[in-house]
Amino acid sequence: SWRTRAHDPQLRPVHLVRHPLPDADGAEVVTLVVIGVGNDHRRDDGVGPAVAAAVAARRPWLRVICCAAEPTAILDAWEGATRAVIVDAAAPGTDGVPGRVRRSTLGDLAETRAVSSHDLSLAQTYRLGRVLDRAPTEVVVITVDAADAGHGVGLSPAVAQAVPKATAMVLDELSRSRA
C-alpha cells in the first residue's frame, strides 16, 4: 500500500505517526512527512518515488510516502504533518534542463488552471487542504526537470544522476526542522 514507507512495511512507533508528545518547554513539535509524487511506470515521472526511497533508506524513522499526483492521495499523505517536503518531476518547458533540481514553495509555483476536480494543481490541493483542515503549515517542493515521461520503467540518465542531489536537498530541508 502507498501508506507504508518505501519497500518497508514495518510498523512505526505511534508517537512518530500521530500527535507526538510536546517538548518539555511546551513548544509545538514539528511533524515531518516526505512525499514522493509520481508514477514509476512513466519513466522520469518516477523520480519522486525514487528520491523518497533514498530518503527512507537514510532516515528509516521518518514518515515517507509515495503517491500519485492525485489531490486526495496528497491530502491523505500530508494529513497530520506540520511540514511536508514534496518531491516531483517537472515538465521541462522552454527553460527546462533534464535533471535540474529546484527548490520551491507553493507560492513560487505557477498556478495552473484546473479543467476538473481531477486536475488540481499542488497549490490548489493545498488550498483545499487548508479549507478542510488537512494541510501542513509549511510545504516545500523539490522538483527535478524530466526528460521523458513516456511509458516504461526506469529514469533517463540525466534524471537518474539527479537523484542524489535531490535526496541531499530533501535531507537539508529536514535538518532545518526540529525532528
SS3 labels along the chain: CCCCECCECCCCCHHHHCCCCCCCCCCCCCCEEEEEECCCCEHHHHHHHHHHHHHHHHCCCCCEEEECCCHHHHHHHHCCCCEEEEEEEECCCCCCCCCCEEEEEHHHCCCCCCCCCCCCCHHHHHHHHHHCCCCCCEEEEEEEECCCCCCECCCCHHHHHHHHHHHHHHHHHHHCCCC
- Compute the distance between CA of residue 123 and CA of residue 127 in angstroms, rounded to an integer: 6
Per-residue pLDDT of the chain (179 residues; tens, 9 = 90+): 444 455 555 555 554 444 455 555 555 556 899 999 999 899 999 999 999 999 999 999 899 999 887 888 888 999 889 999 999 998 866 677 899 999 998 777 665 544 434 467 888 888 889 999 889 999 999 999 999 888 999 999 999 999 999 999 999 998 887 54
Residue-level pLDDT at 25: 56
Residue-level pLDDT at 108: 79
Residue-level pLDDT at 150: 84
Residue-level pLDDT at 176: 82
